[in-house]
Amino acid sequence: MISTRNPFKRTAMSVAIVAAAVVSGTAYAGVTDKDIVQDAATPGDVVSFGMGTQGQRFSALDQINVDTVKDLVPAWSMSFGGEKQRGQESQPLIHDGVMFVTASYSRLFAIDVKTGVKLWKYEHRLPDGIMPCCDVVNRGAALFDNLVIFGTLDAQLVALDRETGKVVWKEKVDSYKAGYSMTAAPIIVKGMVISGVSGGEFGVVGRIEARDAKTGKMKWVRPVVEGHMGYTFDDAGNKKDNGVSGTVNATWPGDLWKTGGAATWAGATYDPETNLIFAGTGNPAPWNSHLRPGDNLFSSSTVAINPDTGKIVWHYQTTPHDGWDFDGVNEFVSFDYTDPKTGKVIKAGGKADRNGFFFVLDRTNGKLLNAFPFVNKITWADSINLETGRPNYTKGGRPGDPSESKDGKKGEVVFSAPSFLGGKNQQQIAYNPDTGYFYVPANEWGMDIWNEPVSYKKGAAYLGAGFTIKPLHEEYIGALRAVDPATGKIVWEHTNYAPLWGGVLTTRGGLTFFGTPEGYLRALDAKTGKEVWSFQTGSGVVAPPVTWEMDGDQYIAVVSGWGGAVPLWGGEVARRVNFLEQGGSVWVFKLHK
């Protein structure tokens, strides 16, 4: 039966075929909306980015705990192979005995999760001339029914058959020649695949799109730059106006909103309790803020969208009139917040923003509940006004206007912290309901930044700024911090020489796992921050670990492979960490018994 279906593989990869037959079988049930909504509560699988669409990255498993973690050992490792190493930022998914993990250069692997044997690999054919700003990364796939769906560096969405790796549908999202690309993991909401776009450094227009996950056909699109029309689509593909986002020219002057950026490059989270999709939006384009007076909605914000209507329900802008490329793409993580004044439990969300402040919002309406720094040095704002929800800007914190300089070519240079790579960047936070803490992989760095004249040219960098990133301390840049959302206190921190660029996992076992560019996967006591375990993976870890249970054993997995934005954009920091080696592999661990 297998041999007629797959004659080539029978000889070349007989072991894999046996494994594939066992896992595929006839009893396989596809991933459902219910599986996805319940993902966080079902430790037998990981079927969504964020280990649950709310994005908490918390597991109730406790077999691996503060006492037993010393016996955690590798079960297997698999190389992504080839010459295509570079940044590996992917979160693996695990379902029905198979791991699905993406790799650099738009690759996707299916692996027998018991043995580590590769079942199949998909290598997307990338054209010359793709323009990913920040390395050839991918952060993961989405599962729905029998499909594995991911975005590619040439701005396509590809759905593969989970069993064979064959393309079932493929949709062009936008033109890579105009600077669009895709690096985020899509999420599934009500049978729709929800995706964003990368390209904020090229003057793209950020948006969230919803497609029928089974067919790839468009359901709705919602631009997140004020002035652009949203659309819904019928089954025949006819599009219908669905209202303009915001009001044309209310917070943008002239025509700049037409190439306004606000790239949704880190994707979105979804909260089934409020039925809202939360998308982070990137910097307004260009970086030179003197060209675009106003708040420039909905850039550098969290935008809440109703998946049934494709309309914006609320927004909260973390950096109005962003002049530092602070973006606002950082994930918005739903959690129950106990108001310290009233003791009332509020449906809230937490976000560690690139601009250095941690924000707690009421996730039903976007109202600010708390905001506090999670890094040591912030130069652009003194604080966030809890009444108005707006920053108290620091005088002289904004890089100068080049048109006020002598030759009109370079504005006043300002030293700014955090650097534009952020107090936190793509590396995902985690929330542990047992401790009540968020775990934030933070970085302490600043930048010299200045503005220059610039005009939009399709497919060209659209910054109008120059910069040099610098460390703030000799001893460390990275700091994993346990943050109390109610008090705003940093409860403990674990510092790291290189900048942290990998996400966090936290568990009922009282542990917090994270990786370092130096190659270590580390486990800390979630309460105290004390290091209780580490393992050297052979290359830098810039991806989030996951955990699941299989046949009575708890497993941990993480991808290893140094890269991402730091070596490309990091200035003095990039030089400081240029001893780090690239790689590309996935590691799986369990307790030695």
The residues annotated with a catalytic role in the active site are 325
**Of these, 282, 464, 515, 570, which contacts Ca ion (CB under 5 A)?**
282
The CB-nearest residue to Ca ion is: 42
Report residue 525 as tokens. 């006591």
3-state SS, residue 352 = strand
Neighbours of 128 (CB within 10 A): 4
CA dihedral 257, 230, 330, 394 (to 10 degrees): 30
Minimum CB separation of residue 378 from Ca ion in Å reads 18
Minimum CB separation of residue 52 from Ca ion in Å reads 7
Neighbours of 477 (CB within 10 A): 28
Minimum CB separation of residue 200 from Ca ion in Å reads 4
- In angstroms, the CA 480 to CA 35 distance is 31
- Closest to Ca ion by CB, 259 or 585: 259
Count the residues in the chain.
593
- Closest to Ca ion by CB, 24 or 53: 53
- Residue whose tokens read 């994930």: 331
Q: Tell me, residue by residue from 349 to 388, as one string, x for binding to Ca ion by CB under 5 A and - for no binding.
A: ----------------------------------------
Which residues in 327-346 contact Ca ion (CB under 5 A)? 327
- In angstroms, the CA 505 to CA 432 distance is 9
3-state SS, residue 415 = strand
42 binds Ca ion (CB under 5 A): yes
Rounded (5°) CA angle 180-145-156: 15
For CA atoms 64, 67, 71, 73, give the dihedral sign: positive
Neighbours of 236 (CB within 10 A): 6
- Closest to Ca ion by CB, 45 or 353: 45
Report residue 116 as tokens. 């580590």
**Of these, 39, 96, 452, 518, which contacts Ca ion (CB under 5 A)?**
39
Minimum CB separation of residue 479 from Ca ion in Å reads 22
Listed ranges 55-63, 199-207, 392-400, 440-448: which one lies at the site for Ca ion (CB under 5 A):
199-207
- In angstroms, the CA 292 to CA 239 distance is 31
CB 378 within 8 A of CB 356: yes
- For 14, phi and psi rounded to 5 degrees? -60, -35
- Closest to Ca ion by CB, 24 or 300: 300
Helix H or strand E segment including 499: none
Total number of residues that touch Ca ion (CB under 5 A): 8
Listed ranges 198-206, 372-380, 443-451, 561-569: which one lies at the site for Ca ion (CB under 5 A):
198-206
- Residue whose tokens read 């912030």: 378
**Of these, 20, 23, 45, 297, which contacts Ca ion (CB under 5 A)?**
45
**Of these, 50, 200, 286, 399, which contacts Ca ion (CB under 5 A)?**
200
Minimum CB separation of residue 284 from Ca ion in Å reads 9
- Closest to Ca ion by CB, 42 or 376: 42
Helix H or strand E segment including 16: helix 14-24
Minimum CB separation of residue 59 from Ca ion in Å reads 9
Minimum CB separation of residue 133 from Ca ion in Å reads 7
Q: Tell me, residue by residue from 122 to 161, as one string, x for binding to Ca ion by CB under 5 A and - for no binding.
A: ----------------------------------------
Report residue 405 as tokens. 């300089």
- In angstroms, the CA 454 to CA 451 distance is 9
CB 591 within 8 A of CB 509: no
- Closest to Ca ion by CB, 140 or 310: 140
Minimum CB separation of residue 47 from Ca ion in Å reads 6
Listed ranges 69-77, 197-205, 301-309, 559-567: which one lies at the site for Ca ion (CB under 5 A):
197-205
3-state SS, residue 284 = strand
Listed ranges 35-43, 155-163, 448-456, 509-517: which one lies at the site for Ca ion (CB under 5 A):
35-43
Minimum CB separation of residue 285 from Ca ion in Å reads 8
CB 79 within 8 A of CB 561: no
3-state SS, residue 34 = helix
Minimum CB separation of residue 458 from Ca ion in Å reads 18
Task: Collect all residues with Cβ–Cβ distance below 8 Å to 576 and sequence separation of at least 6.
Answer: 471, 498
CB 56 within 8 A of CB 335: yes
- β-pairing, 93-95 vs 98-103, is antiparallel
- Closest to Ca ion by CB, 200 or 397: 200
Q: Tell me, residue by residue from 289 to 328, as one string, x for binding to Ca ion by CB under 5 A and - for no binding.
A: ------------------------------------x-x-
- Closest to Ca ion by CB, 47 or 490: 47
- Closest to Ca ion by CB, 287 or 438: 287
Minimum CB separation of residue 42 from Ca ion in Å reads 4
Q: Which residue type is seen at 199?
A: G
Listed ranges 37-45, 238-246, 307-315, 538-546: which one lies at the site for Ca ion (CB under 5 A):
37-45
- Closest to Ca ion by CB, 283 or 585: 283
- In angstroms, the CA 71 to CA 62 distance is 14
- Closest to Ca ion by CB, 387 or 551: 551
Rounded (5°) CA angle 466-472-476: 125
- In angstroms, the CA 149 to CA 398 distance is 41
Give residues in contact with Ca ion (CB under 5 A): 39, 42, 45, 200, 282-283, 325, 327
